[in-house]
Amino acid sequence: MTEELYGDSNLKQGDKDLPENGPNKKAKSKGYVKELQNDLKILGIYFSKIDGNFGAKTKQAVETFQWNAKKIKKRIKNNSIVNDPPVYTESITGIVNPTTKKEIARWLEKSFKATGDLVRVNESQFSNIEIGSAFKKIKHLHINDGEIVISGEIIKYLKYADSKAKALSLNIVINQAMRVNGQKVTGAVVPPAKKSQHLIGHAIDCNIVDGDIWNNSQIFANGKETENAKKFIAAMKKEGLRWGGDFTNSDTPHFDKQIISVIDYKYKYFFNQRMISENQKIPLTTW
């Protein structure tokens, strides 16, 4: 099937489908671009007109597919989320070469659709992390009370924070994790003007409670945080998270795992925000 998918040549920006009875009998005259556009639509990637013209929007859709196939470990299948460790390792080029054709064919065969990497975790999984009174549950069909929504990449840091807080006799009270952007995300990939790590599920705002002392933004602003809070912050930074107190414009209490790559941020933002706006299933993580 792969060898025949979209002919024996690469498809790239500038290619167009031509009438089969026209003078040009090249491989791309057989409707391959329309076929590609339709397949990308089935996979939940392409949202524009199926017109047989491999323009900028089709190229972006191919890049979006390539990024997701390479970076995301889960897919939608029959309206459920399934694990699918990436096997695609090609560069993100927007060119449909044999490897990209093979991956598209694999997704079609398995009835996969693209999704993001958000997960839900119930606060009951933790001993020393809880949801605070200021925490606002995201409006979503599959998010329940008492659940934190975060990128799957951040779970290991929450586990570490929980164990470190327990060792220091602290409680971590989460006020915000994943944040929904004001603009609904469904179609084209358009990153926000301000690239907050909250918008991709890579950040938490929290108070660090040490006995009767709430190490909150005011405490940090006045330099009155407790020694155990300082130890906790140092441990989380050593583990690889950024501390908001180190920012040029101080943002405390805030931790995040920054995605520096503009490309990675753009696509993770698109897929994770779309999980919310389209009420896609968000898997519950337990351990």
Q: Which of 123, 178, 112, 169 is nearest to 146 (CA)?
A: 123
Task: Provide the pLDDT for residue 182.
Answer: 77
Q: What is the distance between the alpha carbons of residues 65 and 59, in angstroms, rounded to a whole number?
A: 10
Q: What is the distance between the alpha carbons of residues 227 and 233, in angstroms, rounded to a whole number?
A: 10
What 8-state DSSP symbol labels residue 283?
P
Residue 237, in any domain of the structure? yes
Query: In whole numbers, what is the pLDDT of the chain averaged over residues?
Result: 93
Residues 151, 168 within the same domain? yes
CB contact at 8 A, 73 and 117: yes
CB contact at 8 A, 46 and 61: yes
Residues 21, 133 within the same domain? no
Q: What is the distance between the alpha carbons of residues 45 and 113, in angstroms, rounded to a whole number?
A: 8
Averaged pLDDT, 250-258: 95
Residues 247, 174 within the same domain? yes
Domains in the chain, number: 2
Q: What is the distance between the alpha carbons of residues 53 and 213, in angstroms, rounded to a whole number?
A: 63
Residues 82, 201 within the same domain? no
Segments forming the whole domain that contains residue 17: 2-113
Residues 134, 169 within the same domain? yes
Residues 210, 242 within the same domain? yes
CB contact at 8 A, 60 and 189: yes
Check pLDDT > 80 for residue 193. Answer: no
Angle subtended at Cα 106 by Cα 93 and Cα 62, rounded to the nearest 5 degrees: 25
pTM: 0.92
Residues 123, 199 within the same domain? yes
Residues 162, 269 within the same domain? yes
Query: Given the structure tokens 């805030």, which residue do they identify?
Result: 254
Q: What is the pLDDT of residues 241-253, one digit of tens each?
A: 999 999 998 999 9
In angstroms, the Cα distances linking 54 to 11, 48, 120, 153, 265 are 8, 11, 38, 34, 25
Q: How many CB atoms lie within 10 A of CB 279?
A: 13
Q: Comparing 45-49, 61-65, 177-181, 193-197, which segment has the lowest mean pLDDT?
A: 193-197
Q: Which of the listed residues 64, 93, 113 is the one where a domain comes to its end? A: 113
* Letter string b/e over residues 213-243, b meaning 16 or more CB atoms within 10 A of that residue's CB: bbbbbebbeeeebbebbeebbebbeeeebbb
- pLDDT band for position 83 (cuts 50, 70, 90): very high
Q: What is the pLDDT of residues 144-184, one digit of tens each?
A: 999 999 999 999 999 999 999 999 999 999 999 999 987 55
Q: What is the distance between the alpha carbons of residues 131 and 243, in angstroms, rounded to a whole number?
A: 20
Residues 90, 162 within the same domain? no
Task: Provide the pLDDT for residue 27.
Answer: 46
Q: Comparing 20-29, 134-143, 201-210, 218-227, which segment has the lowest mean pLDDT?
A: 20-29
Across the chain, which distance is largest between two alpha carbons, in Å?
82
Residue 285, in any domain of the structure? no
Q: Which of the listed residues 113, 136, 157 is the one where a domain comes to its end? A: 113
- pLDDT band for position 30 (cuts 50, 70, 90): confident
- Residues 217, 223, 228, 229, CA torsion sign: positive
Residue 93, in any domain of the structure? yes
Residues 69, 98 within the same domain? yes
Averaged pLDDT, 121-127: 98
Residue 287, in any domain of the structure? no
Burial of 169 (0-12, 13-18, 19+ CB in 10 A): exposed
How is 214-254 classified by DSSP, letter by letter? EE-HHHHHTT---HHHHHHHHHHHHHT-EEGGGSSS---SE
Tallying the residues shown for the chain, one arrives at 287
Residues 125, 109 within the same domain? no
Residues 239, 270 within the same domain? yes
